Amino acid sequence: MGDLNANEYRSFEDIKRVDENGNEYWLARELALVLGYTKWQNFSKVVDRAMLACRNSGVDVDNQFTEVGKLVEHGSGAKRKITDYELSRYACYLIVQNGDPQKEAIALGQTYFAIQTRRQEVADYFNQLDEDNKRLVVRGDIKQWNQMLAEAAHNAGIITDEEFASFQNAGYMGLYGGETVAEIHRRKRLRPKEKILDFMNSSELIANLFRISQAEEKIKRENIKGINPAADAHFEVGKRVREAIEDIGGTLPEEQPTPENSITQIEREQLNRMKAGKNKMLDE
């Protein structure tokens, strides 16, 4: 299975800048070089498509793609003004989603900025939730994406239960540094019928959500066929997510603490509280 150097993600961190208000941004011309675009006119077309995607998503383009100018010298010593952009994380995410998928740096960027964007979403929208509710929200997303991944795997020719188990195992091994599903289950000290996804905290669930969603997209995008190529792709995606988390200083999934209560227990407790509340209203 493919081997990727975690240091490749470092390039995105190296060119990240922070303004006087503490907001991070990337310069488009520096990002272009990291992504393998040597000609600005080619990269500017990608930026234009990303701006269109930003506008279509209802987000203010100028806040995400801030146009700036800079002076550069010609060989004669004369100076001319060129266009550049200060890009938000979301702008970078849209750019790599609209870039050339054949470029390995684009694939690396998709993983890096997807994780960064998701981390910001968690900070923006999940901070008001307690840990139990964060787990419930992400676990619900995983159920949906797992169904989509199963469909993509079936279309790739993975038919039998044994093949699908092998395919799933490959993704976990990539993300967990070689640990199999059985080994993760054993490390968490779970009972035979308990599911490992139900005993993950929100951070570990988010890592798995990216593994699942990016694997589904990769299999469909590259029209992968056959158990071995699909398993290799799933392993590669898991490994890339792991390397990105490690490179940006996150906690690796196997180092996350295992919650005492399962998702099923949390759901049952919340349903009981909801029913109790309804019964109390009827009695009043």
Instruction: Note the pLDDT tens digit of each residue in 78-135.
Output: 677 888 999 998 899 889 888 887 787 887 787 778 777 666 665 665 667 788 888 8
What average pLDDT is seen over the chain? Answer: 86
* Distances, alpha carbon 229 to alpha carbons 178, 208, 219, in Å: 18, 20, 9
For 34, half-sphere exposure in the C-beta direction (CA atoms, 13 angstrom radius) is: 25
Residue 64 makes CB contacts below 8 A (sequence gap 6+) with 54, 87, 88, 90, 91, 94
- SS3 per residue for 218-253: HHHHCCCCCHHHHHHHHHHHHHHHHHHHHHCCCCCH
Residues 131/202, Cβ–Cβ less than 8 Å: yes
- Residue pLDDT, tens place only, 216-241: 999 999 999 999 999 999 999 999 99
- Residue pLDDT, tens place only, 255-273: 999 999 999 898 888 878 7
Residues 175/245, Cβ–Cβ less than 8 Å: no
Q: According to the model, what pLDDT value does residue 5 have?
A: 38
Q: How confident is the model at residue 280 (pLDDT cuts 50, 70, 90)?
A: low
Q: At 122, list the tokens.
A: 């968690």
> Which residue, 192, 188, 189, 185, is CA-closest to 169?
185
> Which residue, 211, 216, 223, is CA-closest to 173?
211
Q: According to the model, what pLDDT value does residue 283 have?
A: 54
Cα separation, 146 vs 140, in Å, equals 10
Q: How confident is the model at residue 206 (pLDDT cuts 50, 70, 90)?
A: very high
**pTM for this predicted structure:** 0.58
Q: According to the model, what pLDDT value does residue 3 have?
A: 32
